Every structure is written in C-alpha cells, then in structure tokens.
Structure 1
Amino acid sequence: MSTYLKNMAGYKHGQLKSKSYDEIQEMFDKEMKREKTKKKKGDDDQEEAEMKRHIEIVKDDEVAIDPILLATKPLVIRADESSKRYSSMIKMLQGIDREDLGTLWKLVKAKDENTRPERDYERVLWGDLKVMFEPDIKSDVWRSLQGYKVNVWKLFDNCRVQFLRFRNLHVFMLVEKRYPLTPITITNMLNKKLQGDHWNEMCYQLLKLMKKQEKGQ
C-alpha cells in the first residue's frame, strides 16, 4: 500500500513513515475510491462523446420537413384552459408540451374510441397518436420499415417525442418507450443522425437506448 501511495498518489516517504497501518489503509482506500470515480467519469465522458457523434444540432426554423396536414381548419386544443391552433402535426409538436399531448390523445380517444375516423385529417391525427401511445407491436408496419431509407430523425424535447420521416411514410414515437424497430432501421437512424436544437440529457438517453436496441439488448 505504501509503495502504491508513493508511486501512484505522489506521497513522500516521510509522509508515510509516521503513519500507522490503519491510517495507511484508510489513505489507500480513499485513493482507490478516487481513482475509481475518476475512471468512471472518464468512461462516461467517452460514452457521451460517442453518443454526440450521432446528433446534429439544428434549430427548428432550419429543419426542412414537409408538413403533414391534419385539417383544412386549424385544430383547437384546450388542454391548459387556453386555445392553441395548429395546421400540421409538426407545428403542433414544436409548440405543445407532454402534458397537453397526453390530454390530446385522451380527447381523441374518447371521441373516436377504437374506431378509426373516416375524415382524412382526423384519421391521420388518430393514427399518429395511436402509434405513439398504443403501438401494435405485432403489426407488419414495423418490419416493413427496414426497407425504407431514413430521411429525417428529429427530436421534439418539449413534448418528449421523436419523429422518423421516410420517403413515403412517417412515424412519431415517445422517447422513453421501446418500439419494435429493426436493427437495420436503427442503424439507418444513427447514420442519418438525430436532429435536435441542443444537446441535453434527453438526447443522450435516447441515443443510448437506440444503441442498445441496435445491439438487440
């Protein structure tokens, strides 16, 4: 222990000579704990640096995403006693928070129950929200995604939703929920890079989850 403390921790012989065995043991244990903490921090920093390779910082007004129209009239939501009008799902997600998003799904679900609406804009809204909150993991849709190239992978951290845009289809997903994405699709997502307006813990955890799913964990 004394040899380690001299060679690795920089203690002088005189500093250790007058110490008892118990004191040296305590110094050694503290040094081991410090080194373990330092190593863990280094590993965490390395992992974070690896995750940052898969993100592209893009402001919302710089993101080119074709809007998916939901209505000829703006959709009115009164989840927080105020009216918010949106003309597309993308614009809605840029301005809505998670609580209001959950309230919107409850309102849509209560109105239509489990029957898909017939009107185009209502059907798109109902379908997007149902996949988001209650995905059918046995649906062939998820397996069919592996044949499509990922055009956009975007994070809306205000409502904790990620958006995947393919050539002819799209999907909205909650960031903390596991969806049956194939490893091929996830690899395409990571290669395309996640678009976010800044780096934060949500980006880190989402990318970490995707890396685990890519490896089948």
Structure 2
Amino acid sequence: FVEAVPLAQKASIMDYQVVVVDNKPKYKIIRADDTHQFYISFTTLLKNFDREDLKALWRIVKDRFSSKKPTNFSNEYLLLTLKTMFGELDAHDAIWRSQKGTYGLSL
C-alpha cells in the first residue's frame, strides 16, 4: 500500500473584490495563502475554477448579500449567475423581473 501525496495543494478562496484596473472592473480572488488573482470576466474565472472554488465563492457571495443588495453591476451579475448555477433563484430575483437591469443593461 502506497499513500498518494499531492504535489501541490491549492489554497481555498477566502474573499473576493471587484476592483477597477485601467478603468475596467475586474474580479480579484483572494486565497487563504494571501495570494490573489485578477479575472477580467466571469467567463475567464469559470475556466480557471473547479467546483470547490465555485462553491467557496458562492458561500462568500451569498453571505455578503444576505443582508444587503449589490451596489454595482459586477456584484449583481456575480450574485445572479451563481444563484442560477446553484439553483437558488426565486420569483423576486432581478433576472425574472424584467429585461432591463438596474444599471440599464439586460441580464
């Protein structure tokens, strides 16, 4: 019997921020080992995340917006997209209310 030892372990996601770099919003993902990575879009974030990363990000987003509403398009998009992915939409979510979003863009 030989025990497998992983060569590298990925640190879990601890927080995220929406930051503006070069006048463009980007997702800054902060991991437990104090490293961070910038993602220009949610699509690139998805390409680089595994399911455990998405679950951790969903927990953070859900906790952050359980008592307050998102204040910008990037946060609202992240919240609604993760809600859709994890099947937790309800009749009050913005995606079902109208085609015109809060910020003038359709979701």
- State the alpha-carbon separation in 1 of the partners of residues 50 and 57 from structure 2: 11
Structure 2 stretches lacking a partner, 5+ long: 1-17, 97-105
Corresponding letter in the other structure for 2:89 = P
Instruction: Give 2:90's aligned residue.
Output: 136
Aligned residue type for 2:76: R
CA contact (8 A) 2:25 2:74 kept: no
Give yes or no for contact 1:116–1:126 (8 Å, CA) kept in 2: no
- 1:124–1:88: structure 2 CA closer, same or farther, 3 Å change rule? same
- CA separation in 2, counterparts of 1:91 and 1:122? 16
Q: Does 1:86 align with 2:39?
A: yes
How high is the TM-score relative to the length of structure 1?
0.29
1: CA distance, partners of 2:58 / 2:46? 13
Partner of 2:27: 75
Secondary structure of the equivalent of 1:116?
coil
Kindly report the root-mean-square deviation, in angstroms, between the aligned alpha carbons of the 2 structures: 2.9
Q: Distance in 1 between matches of 2:71 and 2:57?
A: 19
TM-score (norm 2): 0.54
Give 1 or 2 for the bigger CA radius of gyration: 1
Alpha-carbon distance in 2 for matches of 1:99, 1:78: 15
SS in structure 2 at match of 1:135: coil
Q: Decide which structure has greater helix share.
A: 1
How many residue pairs match? The answer is 74
Aligned partners of 1:84, 1:97: CA distance in 2, in Å? Answer: 15
- Determine if the alignment matches structure 1 residue 126 to structure 2 residue 69: no
- The residue type paired with residue 30 of structure 2 is R
Distance 1:117 1:138 in 2: 14
The 5 A counterparts of 1:94-105 are 94-105=47-58
Mapped to 2, the partners of 1:127 and 1:115 lie a distance apart of: 14
| Structure 2 match to 1:112 | 65
Question: Which SS does the other structure have where 1:113 is aligned?
Answer: coil
Superposed structure 1 runs of 4+ greater than 3 Å apart: 79-82, 137-141
| Higher RCO (C-alpha under 8 Å, 6+ residues apart) | 1
